[in-house]
Structure 1
């Protein structure tokens, strides 16, 4: 199947135009629209169609569970939360949606690698499908997602990996594109 040139250019521009969004408008994002986006994104390349993903979507008052789990990882031995962590928690509460993407950690390295690749491809599909609809996000892999306290508080089981926390909303600020290295500097073409 070959697409029309204008369709190809539109896809190229979508890919090049997508940005990670850190500053969000307070406007709510429809959960139904996120489900629709996930329905599209699931068409990512996926060896043997194992569909190695599951999602935890935190919206409205449910965001408190996500934020509280984060805060538990920040508490000192005295139980106090540092001011920096409190500010980050306030920022997290303002973001309309948090989507945690989880995969099973298969003990077979090849399967683990294939599953991780599939989940990452799906996350890129999520970002592109959302961007096409005017929804922005940032893919986070902060150190606290590895903390057993956070994992347990949000229901991530032993033998599962958090691949991403996607913070989702309508962008209040769209950053400029950052320069990328030309591919000719990164490719070694072997012809014989």
Structure 2
């Protein structure tokens, strides 16, 4: 019984990974269940037993992408030096957010979410679950506040402004096919300027 469950789980993972690649490279509309079946060498019936529709399959793709990034973020934060300053740790986490949001696969999925918003809205909507990424960022904002490195205030609001300050321009560039922030040097320069603006504000 355990072997059958493992085989089923392996098949499901293989289907989702094949679908991830096709959705990311071709888009949602151009990808069919038949193409996914051919890519992962599975029958259409095998896919439909696990995912009743292409929309459900895309939902599983997004869930896997999210879970894998949560795991990466957990590993990254666990490796941060404990003897560093809270503000320094917040800075490193914020820099991780920039790279994570510019990951080509995630950019492709966000582009799909924009172009296929009406189709995706017809599917099941996620509940009001907490955002693990923002939870991590908020916790680091609060640690920096407790250390007196950041002014007191709504930590969630501050975290949201930090993400917007750092991510918005590079992500918008990537969503329209730009490559201005594809390289590390360009990202480092943008992050340095955005981080300074976040800390100092725009007042003269």
Q: Provide TM-score, normalisation by structure 2.
A: 0.23
| Structure with greater helix share of residues | 2
Structure number with higher relative contact order (C-alpha < 8 Å, ≥ 6 residues apart):
1
